[in-house]
Structure 1
Amino acid sequence: MRGTERRARLLAALELGEIDVDDLARRFGVSASTVRRDLQHLSDTKAVRRTYGGAILAGGSPETTLDQRLAIDGAEKQAIARAALSLIEDGETLILDAGSTVTAFGRLLVNRRLRIITNNLALLPCLARAPEIDLIVLGGGLRATSMSTVGPLAVEALRRLTADRMVTSADGVVAGRGLCEASLDQVALKSAMMAQAQDTIVLATASKLGRAEQMSWAPLPPRWTLVTDAGVSRDQRQALIDVGAHIVTAEA
């Protein structure tokens, strides 16, 4: 496991409370000294506060950067991205949200004939060179953690556009609540995207299902599609089907 991914997973583990170094070392299959170096790195960036024998989060649940999220569950995200391709037809108009799994999906679209509306700045270098993609970029305020635009300018521009499908991800997906995110700006834009698209597709690893660690929520439409990995439990699957989800399980 690379250092970037290991440190992102350390933060996720610490969100559940204080955990000591030996426990973290056993969990990630590394030495205690490696964990101490990782915790020191996170302490230097003010993400955690060191304690005797371990660490705790420095504040509330921190939002990880796009690079950190890309490092977590990389194989699962790539499998989800490939599975989602079968849901898209050439000639369609797509709205692509920000997020690491959507970014993995968007990079697979370069040889498709599509119109793409997006606030995902990380995708622009890739999609701008695709010869058969008509690209529309939503303006707005910059969210550096996700390399995306948000805010009233993005929402207002979106109100003048419609799409066949909207593709999004989230910090968490909870049956009956919807998509969990860190800010109201994010959920306002996600809600507008869902309203302007005929269909909503959510790309989320099984580890995101049932997570409710952030404060803001975007309700999902009555019918929507979830593309997830094989780690989804039977109970989670049924709970999401009960609130209108059509579930596509990606093969590893």
Structure 2
Amino acid sequence: MKVTNRREAMLKAVLSGMNDVGALCEHFGMSEATVRRDLRALADERLIVRTYGGAAASVGVHEPEESLDLRRESFREQKDAIAQAAVSHVQDGDTIFLDGGTTTAAMARLLTGRRDIRVVTNNLLAVGLLASSEVPVTLIGGDLRPSSMSTLGPLAQIALNRLSVDKAFLGADGVVAGRGLCEATAEQAYLKECIIRQAANVFVLVTSHKLDRASQQHWTPLERDWTLVTDAQPGAPELATFLVRGEVTIETASQQAHETQRT
């Protein structure tokens, strides 16, 4: 195996949670010296962090957040396809949570004709879409975050601790297998943690460019069964680290199917 291919495979293994040198040696059938040399090279590239006896996923670097207007326009067809796939999981009688973000807002747009569901949300974009429909909506209060038009903070956390939902649909700035969701602020990350605790089922809706992407420095752990809904196609390299995680169910949204249904 070429060195570049071997190190790419080792990076994916570390990101998936295989952090011990001994486990990596056994998994790849390589000597300890070779594994340590590869880990050192990956750490020099700031892709991982060396630890005693192994390595861990890098915390990533803070990337500037895109503006709300830019996020509304970017990856629109992919987000619509993901929203369509996510809506198929909403059944009559469900109480669901819609997280902040433009993909969950696209999902709200598809729910406006429903009657026998309830939506709980901190997403003001979703509220605007559902306000004139017959869908009962519970808006979680708190501090307004203008860059995402969502609410967060202590009041939102208190409200969430007083209710439960059948299904929670979450967005993220990035999602890393074995680590969780990354967000720009600690308040966003903790609010998602509150949502996950109160939900019977958790769905994470992200476009493929956010997979294995540690673009921010605040994390929401995913330490339970959950479903990833993404536009990445089956067999795509960015899904590799998720496929080895037993707690993750992967659902790939079909953009073509969405466009057919839309027409």
| TM-score (normalised: structure 2) | 0.70
Please show how residues 30-179 of structure 1 align to structure 2 within 5 Å. 61-112=63-114, 113-131=116-134, 133-179=135-181
Residues 182 and 233 (structure 1), Cα distance of their counterparts in 2 relative to 1, 3 Å cut: farther
Deviation at 1:60, TM superposition (A): 5.4
Q: Which residue of 2 aligns with 1:27?
A: none
Cα RMSD between the aligned structures? 1.6
Residue identity (%): 45
Kept after mapping to 1: 8 A contact 2:100/2:149: yes
Q: Distance in 1 between matches of 2:163 and 2:84?
A: 27
Give the secondary-structure state (helix, strand or coil) at the position aligned to 1:145: coil
Offset at residue 68 of structure 1 (A):
1.1
Paired with 1:180 and 1:77, the residues of 2 have a C-alpha distance of 19
Q: Is the 8 A contact 1:106 1:123 kept in 2?
A: yes
Q: Are 2:211 and 2:239, in contact at CA under 8 Å, matched by a contact in 1?
A: no
Instruction: Name the count of aligned residue pairs.
Output: 193
Tell me, what secondary structure is at the counterpart of 2:136? strand
Match of 1:247 in 2: 250
- Matched residue, 1:37: none
The answer to whether the 8 Å contact 2:62/2:215 transfers is no
Secondary structure, aligned partner of 2:108: helix
Match of 2:220 in 1: 218
Unmatched 5+ stretches in structure 2: 1-60, 256-263
Deviant stretches of 4+, over 3 Å:
230-236
Which range is displaced more, 235-244 or 141-150? 235-244
Q: Which has the higher contact order (CA 8 A, sep 6+)?
A: 2
1:229 is the counterpart of 2:231? yes
Structure 2 residue matching 1:116: 3-state secondary structure: strand
Structure 1 unaligned runs (5+)?
1-58
How many angstroms does 1:114 deviate by? 1.0
Amino acid at match of 1:123: A
- Matched position secondary structure for 2:96: strand
**Is the 8 Å Cα contact of residues 165 and 198 (structure 1) preserved in structure 2?**
yes
Which deviates further from its counterpart, 229-238 or 146-155? 229-238
Residues in 1 aligned to 2:95 and 2:221: alpha-carbon distance in whole angstroms:
22
**Distance change >3 Å, CA 147–CA 232, structure 1 → 2:** farther
